[in-house]
Chain A
Amino acid sequence: MDIVEILFSASFWAAAIRIASPLIFATMGELICERAGVLNLGIEGIMVAGAFAGWIAVWAGLPLWGGVAIAMIAGMGFGALHGVLSVLFGLSQHVVGVGITLLATSLTFYTYRVALPEVSTPPKIEAFKVLEIPLLSDIPIIGQALFAQTPLTYLAFGLTGVLAWTLYRTPLGLAVRAVGESPASVAVQGLSVAAIRMGAVIFGSGLMAVGGAFLTMSAFDSFFFDMVNGRGWICIALVVFGAWRPGKALLGAILFAAFDAFQIRLQQTGIGVHVPYQIFLMMPYILSILALVLMSRRAEVPAALMVPFNKGER
């Protein structure tokens, strides 16, 4: 298979959209947090917790959407903890975030071992199935890529639209953007900066967990320890790459996922025989760093990102 052939195959684009889906959820979650002025480095651990919570809930007998809800609630729990420490108490967002990631990851692994003490391979669940949308899925290439996915993928795209609309067209969105730019002026309007930031961090963390749950409930049907494997950190890079805008971040996630799908296929071509596979696996991370470097000059960082707000303080 040569490169042109890869780029024009429907399965390649379908894989790209599938790989992009968890990234879209988590990137949107991080974007909401950062738009409200909170860098959430708990993302990696929250994705691990979400992946586990959704999967174990379904394994225990809940319907699939029930599992998604459980994952979201688990993520919101960690988000609330992050918010209390970083928003209400104004602690260092770096330290709190790293702490949440360590806590969420170790709690997840602990719970896994306690819940399933004697298993060598984790049990499988009946994961989300592909839902082909009639007519639309018959369009060549694009149809199979966009309209023959699992319901969670459609949700990811729908969510991005709703999010962009809310952020730019509603008073709530204005308030969220304003606490990330100039919290003092929001406080002057009589709104609670702390409440808006808490809400953003809790909801955003919930979305990160759904991103994790996509891995165990849609992309695969089981839970593995190294499943998330740095995807959370990549999402943080994607937010910067997308200049803190939902639409651009969505495109960034798809571009990134397309590259990831491409390198997997490239490994199977003639090039893959001569190049060590580790080089291919490195590519997503190198690409993320390159994206950060390229965007650094014209990034429109929320002015109050990582700045705690203490009422009455100038």
Chain B
Amino acid sequence: MRLEPIANPTLTRRVLPPALAIAASFAVAAFLAMIAGGNPFQVFGLIISGAVGSKFAVLETLNRATPLIFTGLAISVAFRAKLWNIGAEAQLYMGAVVTVVLGTGALGLPGWLMLPVLAVLAVIAGGVLLLVPAVLKTRLGVDEVVTTLLFNFIFLLFVSYLLEGPLKDPLGMGWPKSARLVPEARLPRIVDGLRLHWGFGLALIAAVGIWVVDKFTTLGFEMRAVGQNAHAARFAGIPVNPVILKTALLSGGLAALAGFSEVAGLKGSLTLDLSPGYGYTGIVVAMLALLHPLGVVAAALFVAAIFVGADSMSRAAGVPTYLADIMLASALLLTVLAILITKFRVRRD
């Protein structure tokens, strides 16, 4: 078989394949739910009502979407420049560690200054953490996929050490858990009485900010040019390596904000289970959003809804919650295939 580019794809051709891809991933999930002894209609009904069926459910979904918007943005910024950052998990924890180290009393700042300072320092630390693999890539040609992946394992062990050693809460009854943040370091709720913190607002602002950078600034243009064709970009006078390093700082910083917002907004302290793989799920979010910053918000809400819905479905119907992960993994694979089909015709010969 052979792929042939289509000059002017029709509207049907551009819309139908991605829609079919999402439908097919639902079909896969329905089939698996049946194997587990569930009724697919009931299972999907429970997922939907669990995700958006009540005020509590909606707030839970928005809260769950917050870190995913940050990691999704981190991945989409990096992937656009073909910097394969699979280490958002480590960068997330870096942001959380900085927040906890400085926000539990070490930094005595007034309330209005505390949160911005913590956020900026978390961003810098997360960016620097990704800068190491990025420099290894630009200087020595070491593939960043493997290095960023391995960094996740190294950094999580480091966090585990911190929580059992220097950062351990003396009042934590022996649990590997950090002390609680001082009140000035907590992100306030958006509306009093509703369990939704300003981390969500910050995530939306970040998405719009990245969209602006992408669309209206030289850096945005350079990042896209490097991603599309590094040789051509270099030939056109774009400083490719510095652009990759700037992309790394931006991407790592965004992922670190996920950790900052989870600790300062939701949890108030750091434990080893702060992130159930938000760094990896960010890849799915970014791909479903076709790497578009505003699309990331929509994709993160979709993915968060599936996860929150699957949790409550699992409690009610007894179908394992891993159904959500399978659905998203198949959605990821089928969507990239669908996007290809919108642009190419498959010829047999």
Chain B residue with the shortest CB-CB distance to A292: B142
When distances are taken between beta carbons in the complex, the residues of chain A under 8 Å from B158 are 278, 282
A237–B136 Cα distance when bound, in Å, is: 14
User: Taking the nearest CB of chain A, how far is it from the CB of B140, in angstroms?
Assistant: 4
Q: Check: A296 CB closer than 8 A to any chain B CB.
A: yes
A237–B144 Cα distance when bound, in Å, is: 11
Q: Check: B332 CB closer than 8 A to any chain A CB.
A: yes
A109–B314 Cα distance when bound, in Å, is: 14
| CB <8 Å contact, A292 and B147 | yes
CB contacts under 8 Å to A, within B292-349, are 318, 320, 322-323, 325-326, 328-330, 332-333, 336-337, 340, 349
Pick the contact of B337 from A89, A102, A282, A286 — CB < 8 Å?
A: A89
- Interface flags for B119-163 (1: CB within 8 Å of A; 0: not) read 000000000000000001000111101110111011001101100
Q: Check: B198 CB closer than 8 A to any chain A CB.
A: no
Pick the contact of A276 from B140, B142, B165, B349 — CB < 8 Å?
A: B165
A206–B142 Cα distance when bound, in Å, is: 27
User: Taking the nearest CB of chain A, how far is it from the CB of B250, in angstroms?
Assistant: 19
User: Which label, helix, strand, loop or mixed, suits the secondary structure of the B interface?
Assistant: helix
Pick the contact of A106 from B3, B326, B333 — CB < 8 Å?
A: B326
| CB <8 Å contact, B161 and A278 | yes
Most buried by B among A100, A102, A292, A297: A102
User: Taking the nearest CB of chain A, how far is it from the CB of B47, in angstroms?
Assistant: 15
Across chains A and B, the number of contacting residue pairs, with CB separation under 8 Å, is 126
| CB <8 Å contact, B150 and A95 | no
- Interface flags for A284-314 (1: CB within 8 Å of B; 0: not) read 0110110011001101000000000011100
Q: Check: B184 CB closer than 8 A to any chain A CB.
A: no
A237–B322 Cα distance when bound, in Å, is: 29
Q: Check: B285 CB closer than 8 A to any chain A CB.
A: no
Q: Check: B284 CB closer than 8 A to any chain A CB.
A: yes
Count, chain A residues at interface, CB 8 A:
50
- Interface flags for A30-67 (1: CB within 8 Å of B; 0: not) read 00000000010100000000000000000000000000
Interface residue tally on B, bucketed by range: 35 or more
| CB <8 Å contact, B157 and A281 | yes
A103–B29 Cα distance when bound, in Å, is: 12
User: Which label, helix, strand, loop or mixed, suits the secondary structure of the A interface?
Assistant: helix
When distances are taken between beta carbons in the complex, the residues of chain B under 8 Å from A237 are 146, 150
Most buried by B among A98, A234, A240: A98
Q: Check: B211 CB closer than 8 A to any chain A CB.
A: no
- Interface flags for A97-119 (1: CB within 8 Å of B; 0: not) read 01110110111011001100100
A25–B27 Cα distance when bound, in Å, is: 35
| CB <8 Å contact, A279 and B161 | yes
When distances are taken between beta carbons in the complex, the residues of chain B under 8 Å from A279 are 161
Given contacts A114-B36, A296-B142, A310-B2, contact A89 B340 (CB under 8 A): yes
Given contacts A99-B336, A114-B35, A233-B150, contact A194 B1 (CB under 8 A): yes
| CB <8 Å contact, A95 and B2 | no
A38–B10 Cα distance when bound, in Å, is: 32
When distances are taken between beta carbons in the complex, the residues of chain A under 8 Å from B164 are 276, 278
In the complex, the 8 A-B pairs of residues with the closest C-beta atoms, listed nearest first: A106-B325, A113-B320, A103-B329, A102-B329, A110-B322, A278-B161, A296-B140, A99-B333
Tell me the B residues contacting A by CB distance below 8 Å. 1-3, 32, 35-36, 84, 86, 136, 140-143, 145-147, 149-151, 153-154, 157-158, 160-161, 164-165, 280, 283-284, 287, 318, 320, 322-323, 325-326, 328-330, 332-333, 336-337, 340, 349
A-B pairs with beta carbons under 8 Å apart, 14 shown: A110-B36, A114-B320, A230-B153, A233-B150, A236-B146, A278-B164, A281-B157, A282-B158, A289-B147, A292-B142, A292-B146, A296-B140, A310-B2, A310-B3
